[in-house]
Structures are given as C-alpha cells and as structure tokens.
C-alpha cells in the first residue's frame, strides 16, 4: 500500500522506532557511566545528568505522541515495542539522577 515498505511491520507503525532506540542507548550509556565509572567527577556532573535525562524524556514523550497521531491518521496499529522503550527511557531517566546523587553523597 505504501511506497516505502518499512513504515509498518505486522500492521504496526514502526518508522519512529530508531529514535526510541537511540534515546534508550543514550540512557543506558549514562546509566553505566553513573553506576560504574569512578572518574565521573571530571567530565560529568549533576546538571549534566539532569539535563540529559530531562531532555531525553521530553523528546521521547513528544515522539510517542506524534507516533500516536500518525498511527491514527493512516489507520495502522500502535507499536507496543516503542511504548515499552519509552517506559524504559523514563525509568532510566528518573533512575540516573537518583543514583548519581546517592553515590555522590556517600
């Protein structure tokens, strides 16, 4: 039906999935930096952690919202995987500053 076949997979709109994957990778890298790296004070601080977390949550929420609008307009089903990736981005986005400030206090 479409000129570009990868717009949908099994009836679900998946064109915006790479954006969620990118933000999930950023959140995971930030999580590993906050959790395991000992020299984090030299190149990363609390405002950096907060900024990256807040920006990734806001942009992911907007992409999920626009994904829902596009799905509604073209008559496809929603993408469950993108929704779960958004929830993981939110979880890591909330967890990263908490872990950073708890480890910094100790």
* Best CA proximity match to 53, nearest among 20, 85, 26, 86: 26
Confirm whether 11 is domain-assigned: no
Confirm whether 25 is domain-assigned: no
Question: How many domains are there within the chain?
Answer: 1
- pTM, entire model: 0.86
Give tens-digit pLDDT for 8-17: 777 777 788 8
Q: Is the pLDDT of residue 1 over 70?
A: no
Range of the domain at 78: 50-106
Confirm whether 14 is domain-assigned: no
Confirm whether 24 is domain-assigned: no
Task: State the Cα–Cα distance between residues 84 and 87, nearest whole angstrom.
Answer: 5
Confirm whether 32 is domain-assigned: no
Give tens-digit pLDDT for 62-92: 999 999 998 888 888 888 899 999 999 999 9
* Best CA proximity match to 12, nearest among 89, 84, 81: 81
pLDDT of residue 51: 95
Give tens-digit pLDDT for 23-67: 999 999 999 988 887 654 567 888 899 999 999 999 999 999 999
């Amino acid at each position: 039906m479409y000129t570009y076949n990868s717009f949908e997979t099994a009836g679900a709109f998946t064109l915006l999935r790479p954006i969620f994957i990118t933000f999930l990778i950023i959140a995971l890298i930030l999580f590993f930096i906050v959790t395991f790296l000992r020299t984090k004070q030299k190149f990363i601080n609390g405002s950096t952690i907060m900024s990256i977390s807040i920006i990734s949550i806001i942009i992911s929420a907007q992409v999920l919202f626009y994904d829902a609008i596009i799905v509604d307009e073209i008559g496809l089903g929603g993408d469950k995987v993108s929704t779960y990736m958004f929830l993981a981005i939110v979880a890591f986005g909330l967890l990263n500053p908490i872990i950073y400030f708890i480890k910094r206090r100790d």
